[in-house]
Amino acid sequence: MKEIESVRESGGYLNRYTHGEMTFSVYLPPAAKDRQVAALYWLSGLTCNDDNARSKGGFQRFAAKHGIAIVFPDTSPRGDDVADEAERYDLGQAAGFYVNATQDPWKPHYQMFDYVTRELPALIESNLPLIAGVKSVSGHSMGGHGALICALKCAGEYRSVSAFAPIANPVNCGWGEGCFGAYLGDDRSDWDVYDATRLVQGGARVSDILIDQGDADEFLHQGQLLPDNLQSACDAAEQPCTIRMQSGYDHSYHFIASFIEDHFEYHARFLNA
Amino acid sequence: MKEIESVRESGGYLNRYTHGEMTFSVYLPPAAKDRQVAALYWLSGLTCNDDNARSKGGFQRFAAKHGIAIVFPDTSPRGDDVADEAERYDLGQAAGFYVNATQDPWKPHYQMFDYVTRELPALIESNLPLIAGVKSVSGHSMGGHGALICALKCAGEYRSVSAFAPIANPVNCGWGEGCFGAYLGDDRSDWDVYDATRLVQGGARVSDILIDQGDADEFLHQGQLLPDNLQSACDAAEQPCTIRMQSGYDHSYHFIASFIEDHFEYHARFLNA
């Protein structure tokens, strides 16, 4: 990995790296000067790359306060030789959906689940002052879905998980059906292992789930997010899950910025325990 | 004025308005539901419009905390019939420099000093829950220059002034010379009334000045900002002025986000006194 940018923020450093064709960012808090720190992985949503959340989320001040690194992966493989649907924002590049594709033309590069849960942690834990294996995960929209499935599928590997407006039941919404059909094929039974609601129904468990959801979110009203399905599955399975419906908030980073402080406090309790 | 967007953030509302050809944003904190509030005007830098700071600065949480509105004007007149230098980022649209132009083709629309100190306050104080005349001003780079000259030229009208990496002595730097020459003409004596350093030397006073400046700022090293000239003028004039050199910080919004909390606390002491 190669550092291509380093910007000081809130006493630490917001760094950007390339590794092969991939670009990602890591915020190292001031505490990382003297010791290894835990990491919160932030998975972004459709159309984003590693820059959106680090520029618009207001995260870094809270990472600095709690002494936690933030890892900002990209949202898909990138490069001229990587399959894409240039006319669509919701399939292909910037829409990797955090799954391992099994179908052509996606299969060769679209292995984002392995990338965010295995390849990237191994790479950065051996190159940066991070405590190996001490990590949590959060994300927004498609990335909220990603955060939930990372935690649910990798039992015990993430200390905590939260999400903002996650796509909570992708097998039952348009965005999920489009991507899962393309990346995973027509057999819908193959989709369930990447669906948070289905994973809970199938017995996957985490210690707790914290979700914020705006009630003025246009994608909630379009039926893309389906938090009630996840809540019902968690209730039936006695999986702890708190979904806070936030009055008047939409799907934007202004919504995320309004509640990110709570999420850092939540994750810090687990990461710094 | 017409509201074209309203997004909930930190308990208040981030609204966007149009007035004629101009677009601006105002953040109304939760306190504005029940009473009139004071306002901090934020003047942005070259290439920006009203959206940059509201999306990247992390301001709104502190405005909410202190019960202060934030006014985000645009950085120049806009529109197809407005003069521009499309090939240049540092002259014309998005580079109004907060002066009243006296030269063609700029003179008809480039009256930004009057816009931000007179026209816009009158408009919004009669349409929004703002306390008439209770305002402070801050800004970044070209907008830091703007903030300083607004406060220095309008004695007593702004309760407090601060700036991030301001163009502190524009008559002596490339950016300032380019814009002042175009907007104000070749007679450099006409430029001094829009130069913070010259205004202080000429006797203008404010109660206090707070400035943050990164010492890794490329534009500082290029000689565009010249904070030492302002400090020297203030020292000679016994004008209170605190310029905090911040080690390792650059010219970006990551720098602003790192210190904006201090600036809100500073302005709140004056605005909520």
Query: Are the beta carbons of B58 and A61 closer than 8 angstroms?
Result: yes
User: In chain B, what percentage of residues exceed pLDDT 90?
Assistant: 99
CB-based contact B179:B90 (threshold 8 Å):
yes
A256: pLDDT confidence band, cut at 50, 70 and 90?
very high
The nearest CA of chain B is from the CA of A11 a distance in Å of 8
Give, as one character, the DSSP assignment of residue A109: T
Q: Catalytic: A251? A: yes
* Phi, psi at B60, each rounded to 5°: -65, -35
- Using one digit for the tens of pLDDT, what is the confidence trace for A219-232? 999 999 999 999 99
**Average pLDDT of span B72-91:** 95
pLDDT digits (tens, 9 = 90+) for B114-134: 999 999 999 999 999 999 999
Q: What is the pLDDT of residue B226?
A: 98
Q: What is the mean pLDDT of residues B80-99?
A: 95
Query: What is the structure's pLDDT at B262?
Result: 98
A173-184 in b/e burial notation, b at 16+ Cβ within 10 A? Answer: bebbebbbebbb
Residue B130 has what pLDDT?
Answer: 98
Nearest CA in chain A to B51: A56
Task: Give backbone dihedrals phi and psi of A106, rounded to 5 degrees, phi first.
Answer: -80, -30
- Work out the burial of residue B52: count CB atoms within 10 Å of its CB; fewer than 13 is exposed, 13-18 middle, 19 or more buried: buried
Please give the pLDDT value at position A157: 98
Q: How many CB atoms are closer than 10 A to CB B223?
A: 12
Q: How far is A155 from chain B (nearest CA, A)?
A: 34
pLDDT for res A252: 98
- The structure tokens 């003069």 sit at B83
Confidence (pLDDT) at A115: 98
Tokens linked to B27: 């953040």
pLDDT for B93 equals 96
Of B55, B58, B252, nearest to A7 by CB-CB distance is: B252
| pLDDT score of B56 | 97
Interface pTM (ipTM) of the complex? Answer: 0.95
Could you tell me the pTM of the whole model?
0.96
Name the pLDDT band for B16 (thresholds 50, 70, 90): very high
Q: How confident is the model at residue B100 (pLDDT cuts 50, 70, 90)?
A: very high
Query: Is residue B251 flagged as an active site residue?
Result: yes
Rounded to an integer, the average pLDDT of B215-222 is: 98
Q: What's chain A's average pLDDT?
A: 97
Q: How far is CA A252 from CA A162, B44, B55, B78, B151, in A?
A: 17, 22, 10, 26, 34
CB contact under 8 A, B258 and A8: yes
Chain B environment of A264 (Cβ under 8 Å): none
Q: What is the mean pLDDT of residues A90-94?
A: 96
pLDDT at A79: 92
Average pLDDT over residues A25-53: 98
A221 is catalytic: no
pLDDT computed for residue B43 by the predictor: 98
pLDDT of residue B169: 98
Q: What is the rounded CA–CA span in Å between residue B45 and residue B167?
A: 10
Higher pLDDT, A141 or B273: A141
The per-residue pLDDT of chain B, averaged, comes to: 97
For residue A221, give both structure tokens: 């009203």
Of B11, B250, B253, the CB nearest to A8: B250
Q: Which residues of B touch A248 (CB under 8 A)?
A: 8
Q: Is B1 at the interface with chain A, CB within 8 A?
A: no
What is residue B217's predicted lDDT score, i.e. its pLDDT?
Answer: 98
Measure the CA–CA gap between A256 and A251, rounded to whole angstroms: 8
Q: Does B253 touch chain A (CB under 8 A)?
A: yes
Asked if B65 has any chain A CB less than 8 Å from its own CB, the reply is: no
For the segment B169-215, what is each residue's pLDDT rounded down to a tens digit?
A: 999 999 999 999 999 999 999 999 999 999 999 999 999 999 999 99
CB-CB under 8 Å, B55 with A258: no
Q: Are B139 and B163 in contact (CB under 8 A)?
A: yes
User: Cβ B7–A253 below 8 Å, yes or no?
Assistant: no
Do residues B173 and B224 touch, judged by C-beta distance below 8 A? yes
Q: In this structure, what DSSP letter does residue A29 have?
A: P
Cβ pair A8:B255 closer than 8 A? yes
Alpha-carbon torsion (A262, A154, A32, A34), positive or negative: positive
Q: How confident is the model at residue B238 (pLDDT cuts 50, 70, 90)?
A: very high
**Interchain contact, B61 vs A257, CB within 8 Å:** yes
Residue B32, exposed/middle/buried by CB under 10 A (0-12, 13-18, 19+)? buried
B32-59 mean pLDDT? 97
Mean pLDDT across A153-173: 98
Q: Tell me the HSE value of A77 on the side-chain side, using a 13 A CA sphere.
A: 23
Query: Minimal Cα–Cα distance from A174 to chain B, Å?
Result: 25
Gap from B162 CA to chain A (nearest CA, Å): 19
Residue A67: pLDDT band (50, 70, 90) is: very high
Q: How far apart are CA B248 and CA A9, in angstroms?
A: 9
Instruction: Give the pLDDT score at A120.
Output: 98
Judged by CB atoms closer than 8 Å, whether chains meet at B58 and A214 is answered as no
Show the CA angle centred on residue B214, arms to residues B210 and A17, nearest 5°: 145
End-to-end Cα distance, chain B: 30
